[in-house]
Structure 1
Amino acid sequence: MQIVFLVIIGAAAGFIATRMMKVEANIIVTIAIGILGALIGGLILRLLLAVMGAAAGFIGAIIGAMVLIWLYRTYIARR
C-alpha cells in the first residue's frame, strides 16, 4: 500500500514540479522525477528537522525563560 501511495504522490509531485520548471517529460519520467524528488526532499526535511529540533528546543527554552522573568517582574517584584 505504501508503494501505491508513493507512486500517486510521486506522480502528483512530478507533475507539479515539471510544470513549475517548464520541463516536457513523458508520464514515466514525470513519476520518476516525483518519486526521487520525494525521497530526496524527505531526507533533507528529516535532516533539517533533526538539526532545527535542537535549535527549536533551545529557542523555546529562551522564550520560556523570558516569559518567566516577565511574570516575576510583573507579579512578584512589584510587591
Structure 2
Amino acid sequence: MPVLALIVIGAAAGFLATRLMRIEADIPTTLLIGIAGAVVGGLIMRALLTVMGWMPGFVGAVLGALLLIWIWKTYFRR
C-alpha cells in the first residue's frame, strides 16, 4: 500500500477507532494510533486473508487501531 494511502486510511481509522472506544485524544495522537493501527491491522489482514482492495485494508486498520487503543488503555494509562 502506498505511504500516502496508508496515512489517509490510518487517519480515518484512528478517528473512527477513538470514537468507537470513546476516548478523547488530540489530532496527532489520533493520527498516530490510526497509522500504527493500519500497519498492525494490514499485517494481520494480509496474514489471514489474501484479499485485494481498499475495504479490507480499512477494516484491518480500524481493527488494528482498536487493538492498540485497548492495549494502551489496559496497560499504559491508569
TM-score range, shorter chain: 0.5 to 0.7
Deviation at 1:5, TM superposition (A): 2.2
Q: Deviation above 6 Å: which 4+ runs of structure 1? A: none
What TM-score, normalized to structure 2?
0.57
Structure 1 letter corresponding to 2:47:
L
Q: Give the number of aligned pairs.
A: 49
Distance 2:30 2:19 in 1: 10
Paired position in structure 2 for 1:14: 14
Per-residue CA deviations over 1:4-53 (Å, capped at 9, x if unaligned) read: 22221111100000000001100000000000001100111111126xxx
Q: TM-score, normalised by structure 1?
A: 0.56
1:23 and 1:30 map into 2 onto residues whose CA distance is: 10
Structure 1: tracts of 5 or more residues without a match: 51-79
Matches within 5 A, 1:1-79: 2-49=2-49
Identity %: 57
RMSD value, Cα: 1.3
Paired residue for 1:75? none
Deviation track 1:54-77 (CA, whole Å, cap 9, x = no partner) reads xxxxxxxxxxxxxxxxxxxxxxxx
Task: Name the structure, 1 or 2, with higher relative contact order (CA <8 Å, separation 6+).
Answer: 2
